[in-house]
């Protein structure tokens, strides 16, 4: 048995995101055992499907300009990543619409 102590925070105000999380936790407490089992099965199936899709990696071979490759390698080294990981990340962000122009990032800060 674990001897971990339960910690309680007192006199703390939850922010909006924390209140939303807490509200969702409260909802799950009110579900019937049957509904909880159904929801858990649905979530497990979604997770399994996501992992199945993500595990289907494909190898590709592309030609790039030597200068572009050197620049990618330099950026990867600055980030502490293998350059192939950086390229994969950039491609993924582009294909999912999450690659944004640097100007957008600079204007937010």
Which tens digits make up the pLDDT trace of 17-55?
888 887 777 666 677 888 888 988 999 999 998 888 877
pLDDT in tens, 48-98: 988 888 777 788 999 999 999 999 999 999 999 999 999 999 998 999 888
* pLDDT value for 1: 47
pLDDT interval class at 108 (50, 70, 90): low
Where along the chain do its domains lie?
Answer: 16-54, 66-108
Which tokens in the block code for residue 62? 């592309």
Phi and psi dihedrals of 87, rounded to 5? -60, -45
């Amino acid at each position: 048995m674990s001897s971990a102590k339960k910690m309680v925070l007192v006199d703390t105000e939850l922010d909006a995101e924390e209140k939303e999380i807490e509200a969702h936790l409260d909802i799950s407490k009110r579900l019937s055992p049957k509904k909880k089992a159904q929801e858990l099965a649905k979530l497990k199936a979604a997770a399994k499907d996501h992992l199945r899709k993500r595990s289907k990696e494909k190898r590709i071979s592309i030609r790039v300009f030597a200068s572009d490759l050197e620049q990618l390698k330099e950026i990867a080294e600055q980030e502490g990543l293998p350059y192939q990981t950086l390229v994969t990340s950039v491609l993924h962000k582009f294909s999912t619409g999450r690659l944004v122009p640097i100007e957008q990032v600079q204007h937010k800060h």
